[in-house]
């Protein structure tokens, strides 16, 4: 018997498969290489200034010397407060939309509003925060007002990502719980949320990168050009205080501070990017750990 021979059709399929792999691999590299180049350039230019004293000391001499403790701590306050407000509200909204709301015109309108809100420019959120929290609510320019503005800005993405995570849980899980007499809330609390927690946490944590890098919303509502605080004290800010932030500090040093060391803006950017990458890496690790515990 003649052994099976590859036909022209099979060779063409294999050639197309290899071509698809090369194209898709090239697209993946095109996404990764710029990030590596940016991080590498920042490390080359800014690494000489990075030290523990640089992180734990305040800017001095017109922000030309010293460190960035006040800006780093202010960014931490803003991000943590924004997530503490946005995460519970966003998760609960997503639970209602996915588990309780009926498919009618009102629900579809809410979905459309969430999608559109996610595309609103940050400067519009800044003006909303200025009017709603600084002026109307009487919070003044403060960490609390800036954090609430950032929370409003990140809510749509948290709602959307949480809704997708909830929808990924098979309906058979819910039906099995209902068949043994569990209520809808018991099913959500004991089955749906535990099986979707990896996607929920990933969506929440990844919002840190956007929150930490925003400048316009905090510039209008709570960030300040310079504020001296006790160096190394993690409780140096009150929620009613204005604060410095890494994103605004980088903008200020780059555009308004003269005779600053050439490496200073790169060092600030390196700290900001490093913090975001660390949080994202934590999110990926946490997601992989939680996904490994799934039984389906």
Provide the pLDDT for residue 294.
63
Q: Where are the alpha helices (DSSP H) in the chain?
A: 8-46, 52-56, 69-95, 105-118, 122-129, 143-167, 171-179, 184-187, 193-205, 207-213, 216-221, 246-255, 263-292
CATH number of the domain residue 117 falls in: 1.10.3720.10
- What's the CA gap between 87 and 74, in Å, rounded? 20
Residue 225 lies in a domain: yes
Provide the pLDDT for residue 111.
84
Task: Show the tokens assigned to 144.
Answer: 């609390």
Residue 138: which region, alpha, beta or left (left: phi > 0; alpha: psi -120 to 50)? Answer: left
Task: Enumerate residues 6+ apart whose C-beta is below 8 A from 149.
Answer: 125, 126, 128, 129, 133, 217, 218, 220, 221, 222
Residue 49 lies in a domain: no
Provide the pLDDT for residue 5.
72
Residue 53 lies in a domain: no
For the chain, 296 residues long, the average pLDDT of each consecutive 10-residue run is: 69 87 90 88 90 89 87 92 92 91 85 83 91 92 94 90 89 88 89 86 79 87 89 89 91 86 90 84 77 64
Residue 21 lies in a domain: no
In whole angstroms, how far apart are CA 95 and each of 114, 151, 152, 184, 268?
14, 18, 18, 11, 39
Indicate the number of domains in the chain.
1
Residue 174: alpha-carbon gap to chain centroid: 30
Task: Show the tokens assigned to 268.
Answer: 């600030």
Compute the mean pLDDT over every residue in the chain, rounded to the nearest whole number: 87
Residue 63: which region, alpha, beta or left (left: phi > 0; alpha: psi -120 to 50)? Answer: left
Residue 238 lies in a domain: yes
Residue 44 lies in a domain: no
Domain span at 105: 59-292
Residue-wise over 174-196: b if at least 16 C-beta within 10 A, else e? beebeeeebeeeebbeebbbebb
Beta-bridged to residue 243, according to DSSP, are 223
Q: What separation, in Å, do the N-terminal and C-terminal C-alpha atoms of the chain show?
A: 46
Residue 126 lies in a domain: yes
Residue 79: is it exposed, middle or buried by C-beta count within 10 angstroms (0-12/13-18/19+)? buried
| Count of all residues that appear for the chain in the document | 296
Task: Show the tokens assigned to 94.
Answer: 């997503």
Task: Enumerate residues 6+ apart whose C-beta is below 8 A from 124.
Answer: none
pLDDT digits (tens, 9 = 90+) for 91-149: 999 999 999 888 888 888 888 888 888 788 888 999 999 999 999 999 999 999 999 99
Provide the pLDDT for residue 143.
94
Task: Enumerate residues 6+ apart whose C-beta is below 8 A from 263.
Answer: 45, 46, 48, 49
In whole angstroms, how far apart are CA 222 and each of 2, 43, 100, 125?
80, 30, 37, 13
Report pTM. Answer: 0.86
Residue 174 lies in a domain: yes
């Amino acid at each position: 018997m003649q052994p099976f021979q590859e036909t022209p059709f099979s060779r063409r399929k294999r050639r197309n498969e290899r071509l698809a792999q090369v194209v898709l691999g090239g697209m993946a590299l095109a996404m990764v290489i710029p990030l590596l180049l940016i991080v590498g350039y920042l490390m080359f230019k800014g690494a000489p200034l990075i030290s523990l004293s640089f992180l734990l000391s305040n800017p001095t001499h017109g922000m030309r010397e010293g460190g960035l403790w006040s800006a780093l701590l202010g960014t931490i306050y803003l991000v943590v407060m924004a997530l503490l407000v946005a995460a519970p509200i966003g998760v609960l909204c997503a639970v209602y939309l996915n588990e309780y709301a009926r498919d009618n015109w009102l629900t579809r309108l809410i979905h459309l509003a969430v999608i559109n809100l996610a595309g609103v420019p940050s400067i519009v959120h800044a003006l909303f925060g200025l009017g709603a929290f600084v002026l109307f609510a009487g919070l003044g320019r403060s960490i609390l007002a800036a954090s609430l503005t950032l929370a409003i800005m990140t809510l749509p993405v948290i709602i959307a990502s949480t809704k997708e995570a909830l929808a990924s849980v098979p309906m058979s899980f819910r039906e099995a719980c209902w068949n043994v007499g569990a209520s809808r809330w018991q099913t959500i609390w004991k089955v749906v949320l535990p099986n979707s927690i990896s996607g929920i946490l990933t969506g929440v944590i990844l919002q840190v990168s956007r929150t930490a890098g925003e400048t316009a919303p905090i510039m209008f509502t709570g960030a300040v050009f310079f504020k001296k605080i006790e160096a190394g004290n993690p409780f140096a800010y009150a929620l009613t205080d204005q604060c410095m932030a890494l994103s605004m500090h980088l903008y200020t040093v780059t555009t308004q501070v003269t005779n600053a060391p050439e490496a200073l803006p790169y060092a600030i950017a390196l700290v900001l990017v490093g913090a975001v990458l660390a949080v994202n890496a934590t999110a990926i690790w946490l997601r992989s750990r939680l996904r490994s515990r799934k039984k389906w």
